[in-house]
Structure 1
Amino acid sequence: MKRFPIPALEPGAALVPALRGLRPYVDLAEEGGPIHARVLALHAARMVSGRPMGLPFQGNPVAYLRRHLLLETRLEPYDCAEPEALPPHLRTPAWEHLCADVAGWHELPEEARPSVATLLVRLGFYRTVLRLIPEPDPAAIARGPATAALALTRANALYKATGPRAAKAALRVIDAVREHAPSPRQRTLAAVAALVHHARVSKDKAEVARRSQEILARRDDVLAGDDSDVVSQSALLRACSFGPFMSGDRETTALLLEECETLARQAPDHTEGLALLKAENLHAMLETRSREALWSGDWRLAQSRAQRLAEHDPLDSRVHRDLGYMTLEHVGAEAALPHFETAAWLGPPFTAVSWCLAGQCRHKIGDLPGALEAYLAGAAADPGSVTAVDGLVRTARELKDQALVRWGEERLHRLHRPAAPKTLKEGGRDEHP
C-alpha cells in the first residue's frame, strides 16, 4: 500500500474539530460559530486594532465556560490561570496582544481598558480582572465613563469568581455605579444590572417590581444618540419584564416583551458590529419570549419560538439541547431525538449530555442499537459520565452484549459514584453548565 506523508499541522489546527466554532474561547482565533463566539472574536479583533468596542453587547457566558470546554475536549495544554501562562507556541497573534495589554495595563489608555477587561471576563480570567481593577470608590467611579465601566466589569468578575458568597459585595459595586456614574446612561445601565441581579439572586419580588418601575420611568436615559440605541431600549424592556413576571402579571409582561421584540427586529444592522449586536439581542429576546409562552401555558407557542431561535442561531448547541428538553416534555422522545442529536453533533460543552439524552430517546422508541451507539459516544466524549456508562450497561444487557456489560460495570465501579438517574427527565441535566 502506498503511503503519503502527513503534513505538519499549523499550531491550533487540532482545535477546529474539537471545538468547532467555539475556538475563540481557547485562543481567540476567529472560526465563525454561534453568535456568542462571534461576539468574543469581534472583541478580540477590536482589541488588536486598538478601537474601543463602543457597542452595548449583553452576553455574559456561563462562569468558567473556557475551562469546561477544555475539560470536555481534553485540551489540557491550553488550560491556564492567567493569559500569560499559556505557552508561547500555542498563542495566536490576538492572544499575544492580550498578554501585552495585561502586562502593560497601567500604560494602556484609560478608554482602552474596559474592552480588555470585558474580554478577560468572557474568557473566564476573573482573578486577572480582580487583580488589575482595584476596589472602586465613589470618586473613582465618578471620574469618567471608563472607570465606571471598569467597576461594573469588576463586579461581574467578582460574582463569577466566587459565586453567591460574593453577591452582596458585587451588588454594592453595581449600586455605587448606579449612584455615582458620570452619565445618566451609565447610571441606568447599572440600574438594569442591579435589577437583573435582584431577580436572579435575591428573588425579592417587591424589590424587583420597584426597580423595574423606576427604570421604565426614565428609560430614555439609556439612549446614547447612536445606532445602538434601539438594541439598548429593547434590552432594557426585557430586563424590566422581570418585575411583572415575578409578580404574576402576565398581561404587563407580554406588553413589555412585545415592545422589546418590535425594537429588536427594527434594530439597524448596516455594519458588522451592529449586525452582530442585533443578532445577539434577537437571541436573548426569542429565548425570553419562549419562556414567557411556557409560563403562560402555551407550549406550542413556546416551541415555535424556540424553533425560531434554533434557526436564528443554528450553531449554538445549548439552543438545540433546550429545544429537545421542551419537545421531550410536551411531544415525546421521537420528536425530541433530532434536537438532542444536533446538539451532540455541534460539540462542546454539551456533547456528552446530549448523546445521553439521544440514547435515552432511542431506547424509549425501541431502537436499542442506536441507543447503544449514542451511549458509547457519550462515554467517549466524557469518560466520567455516569449517565452514559449506566445507560450503556443497561442497553448492552438487553442486547446480550456481555463484553460491553462487563466493560461498563467495571467502569461504573471505578467511577465510585451513585447509580445514574434512569428517567429521561432526570438524566444528564447537571453534568455540564
Structure 2
Amino acid sequence: MSARSPVSARFKSVSTVRVTFQEPPDGSPEWPLPPDIPGGGPGLHGPLGLLYGPYLDLREPSYGALHAHGVALAFRNVEHGRPPFHWHQQVHPPAFRPLLARHLGAPRVALTSPREALTESGDGRTTRLLQWIDHVADLTVPRRVALAKLLVKLGFDRFALGLFCEQDTAGHQAEEGRADLAYVLGAARANLATGYALAPPGTAAGYWPADLLRLARTAPPGSRARLSAAMLLCVLFGKIAKDAAAVAHHAGVARAAFARLDTGGDAFHRDLTRSMMLRAVSFEPMMRGARAEVTAQLAEAEELARGLVAGTPERELLKEDNLAILMETRCREAQWLGDLDLAESRIRESAARNPLDPMRHMVLGEVLERRGKWREAAGAYERSAWLGPSTSPMAWFMAGRLRERLGEPEQAVSCYLSCLSIDPGAVSAGLRLSELLPRTGLPGLAVPCRDHLRETLRDQEPVAPAGPRRLWDERTAV
C-alpha cells in the first residue's frame, strides 16, 4: 500500500444497533425485524446449509461446529425433561439468523418464530418442538427450562421471551426451577440488547440488567441461577460498562454461590462449573491490573478443564466446548500480557478443537495480524467468513484490508463486495471500495458505491457521548 492510501483499521456498519448501558431503562427495546431476503429454498442451501442443519430442521448433526452439536444436546434435554446443568457457552448474537439467511439465500431462517423458520427433516423433531410450544402450560418446570434453553440455542430469543411471559417467573424465584427459567430469559434479554444485531440505520437502545441483578440477589443461595446470573453480570459489567465495583461485587456473589452449589457429588459437573466460574470472575483482578491473579485463576480453570473425565459423548461435548472457549480467553490474556507467541499457540489450539466455528478463525486472524503475518491472517479471516454467521461481514472487511496491504487490490475488492452483500450497511467496506475501484480499472463501479454510501449515511445521527463509567451502586441495585 502506498503511504497516501492508508487502510482503515475499524469495521463500521450503520445497520448495527448501538447499545448504551444505562440506568434506569426506558423499557424493553422493540427490535425491528430484518428485511426479508429474496430467493433460495430448502433444496438450495448447499454445504453451509448442512453445517447449520440443526438450526434449519433440528437434525442430529454428523459434522459442524460444537455449537451445532449443542443444539442436539439441548433438544434431548427437553425430550428427557431435564434442564441443562450447564448452559452451553456458545451464544449467538441476534444477527445470527438474519446473517444465516443471507448466506443461504433462504428468507425462512431469518424469521423470529420456529413455526415459520424450521422445516421438518423427517425425524419428527420439528413437529415435537411445535407440540411442546403449543402445550407449554402443561410441561413440567424442568422441561420448560430445557425448552427455553433450546429456543435460545436456536436463535429464537425473542420468541422464548414472548412464550414464557414475565408473570411465569416473577415471584417464584425462591423455587430453583423457576429461577433457572428466569435466568435463561434474563440471559436472552441481555443478548438481544448487547449482542451484534442488524437493524435499520440509526437504531439504538438502552439496556440495564435489572432481572439478572434481581436473580443474583434473590435466587436460592446455592442455585445455578444465582451463580449463572452473577457470572454473566461479571461479564456485562466488565466488558460493556467497565464498572470495577460491580464486577468485584458479583465475583464475590458467584464464588459464594459456587461454594454452596450442590452437584450431587458429581466431580465432572463440579469441576466444569468451577472452570467456567473462574473464567467469568477473572474480570475482577483484570480490572485491578492484577496480572498474576488473572493468570493464576485462568491457569486453574484450564487445569480443571483438561482434567475432566467425560465418559459419555454429551459430557465430551461439554468438555471440548469449554476448552475451546477457555483457550480463546487465555489467548486474550496472553495478548493483554504482551506475549503474542503464547497468544497464537492458544488460539491455534482453540481453532483445532472447534475448526468449523468461524469465531475461532476470526480471533486467530487478529493475533496473526498483530504479529505482522498478514498473508496468514488474511487466510484466517477468509476461513472465518466462509464458515458463515455471524463473523462474516467483519471477517470479509478485515481480509480485504490485509489483501490491500499485501498489494492485492482485486482480491481486496472481492472481499469488500462480499462484506456488502451480507451487510449493506457496512460503510467501512463501501469507503474502501470507492477508493480502490478506480485503481483497479473500474471507476464506473465506484459511482454506485459512493451513491450507496450517501444513501446509507443520509439519516444518521451523531453517536451520543458515552455515559459515566460508574453505573452500579450496591446500595441502590435492584
TM over 0.5: same fold?
A: yes
Task: Write the distance in 1 (CA, Å) between the matches of 2:431 and 2:238.
Answer: 37
Task: Write the distance in 2 (CA, Å) between the matches of 1:370 and 1:185.
Answer: 49
Q: TM-score under structure 1 normalisation?
A: 0.82
Look up the match of 1:181. 220
Give the secondary-structure state (helix, strand or coil) at the position aligned to 1:165: strand
Residues 43 and 138 (structure 1), Cα distance of their counterparts in 2 relative to 1, 3 Å cut: closer
Q: TM-score under structure 2 normalisation?
A: 0.75
Shift of 1:381: 4.8
Shift of 1:138: 6.9
Whether the aligned pair in 2 keeps the contact of 1:19 and 1:348 (CA below 8 Å) is: no
Whether the aligned pair in 2 keeps the contact of 1:155 and 1:171 (CA below 8 Å) is: yes
Deviations 1:368-416 (A, max 9, x none): 443344445445555665444554454443233x3xx313422441452
2:444 counterpart of 1:406: yes
Whether the aligned pair in 1 keeps the contact of 2:228 and 2:254 (CA below 8 Å) is: no
Shift of 1:259: 0.4
Letter in 2 for 1:141: Q
Look up the match of 2:96. 65
Q: Paired residue for 2:438, among 389, 397, 411?
A: 397
Residues 46 and 254 (structure 1), Cα distance of their counterparts in 2 relative to 1, 3 Å cut: same
Shift of 1:149: 0.7
Whether the aligned pair in 2 keeps the contact of 1:337 and 1:358 (CA below 8 Å) is: yes
2:140 counterpart of 1:109: yes
Larger deviation: 149-158 or 25-34? 25-34
Q: Which has the higher helix share?
A: 1
Q: Paired residue for 1:192, among 221, 231, 235?
A: 231
Residues 173 and 74 (structure 1), Cα distance of their counterparts in 2 relative to 1, 3 Å cut: farther
Look up the match of 1:222. 261
Whether the aligned pair in 2 keeps the contact of 1:341 and 1:355 (CA below 8 Å) is: yes
Residues 88 and 306 (structure 1), Cα distance of their counterparts in 2 relative to 1, 3 Å cut: closer
Shift of 1:261: 0.4
Residues 374 and 20 (structure 1), Cα distance of their counterparts in 2 relative to 1, 3 Å cut: farther
Give the secondary-structure state (helix, strand or coil) at the position aligned to 2:111: coil
Higher RCO structure, 1 or 2 (CA under 8 Å, sep 6+): 2
Look up the match of 1:8. none
Letter in 2 for 1:289: R
Task: Write the distance in 2 (CA, Å) between the matches of 1:410 and 1:228.
Answer: 56
Q: Paired residue for 2:173, among 117, 122, 141?
A: 141
Look up the match of 1:52. 82
- Give structure 1 stretches of 5+ with no counterpart: 1-10, 420-433
Look up the match of 1:259. 300
Task: Write the distance in 2 (CA, Å) between the matches of 1:41 and 1:307.
Answer: 26
Larger deviation: 72-81 or 157-166? 157-166
2:405 counterpart of 1:364: yes
Give the secondary-structure state (helix, strand or coil) at the position aligned to 2:299: helix
Letter in 2 for 1:328: E
2:365 counterpart of 1:324: yes
Task: Write the distance in 1 (CA, Å) between the matches of 2:446 and 2:366.
Answer: 27
Q: Paired residue for 2:183, among 152, 156, 169?
A: 152
Task: Write the distance in 2 (CA, Å) between the matches of 1:285 and 1:58.
Answer: 10
Letter in 1 for 2:150: L
Larger deviation: 74-83 or 410-419? 410-419
Look up the match of 1:207. 246
Misfit runs of 4+, over 6 Å: 87-92
Residues 186 and 103 (structure 1), Cα distance of their counterparts in 2 relative to 1, 3 Å cut: same
Task: Write the distance in 1 (CA, Å) between the matches of 2:219 and 2:226.
Answer: 7
Indicate the percent of aligned positions where both proteins have the same amino acid: 28
Work out the number of aligned pairs and report it: 402
Q: Paired residue for 1:79, among 110, 124, 130?
A: 110
- Give structure 2 stretches of 5+ with no counterpart: 1-40, 195-204, 459-478
2:288 counterpart of 1:247: yes
Q: How does 1:207-356 map to 2 (within 5 A)?
A: 207-216=246-255, 219-224=258-263, 225-226=265-266, 227-356=268-397
Look up the match of 2:47. 17
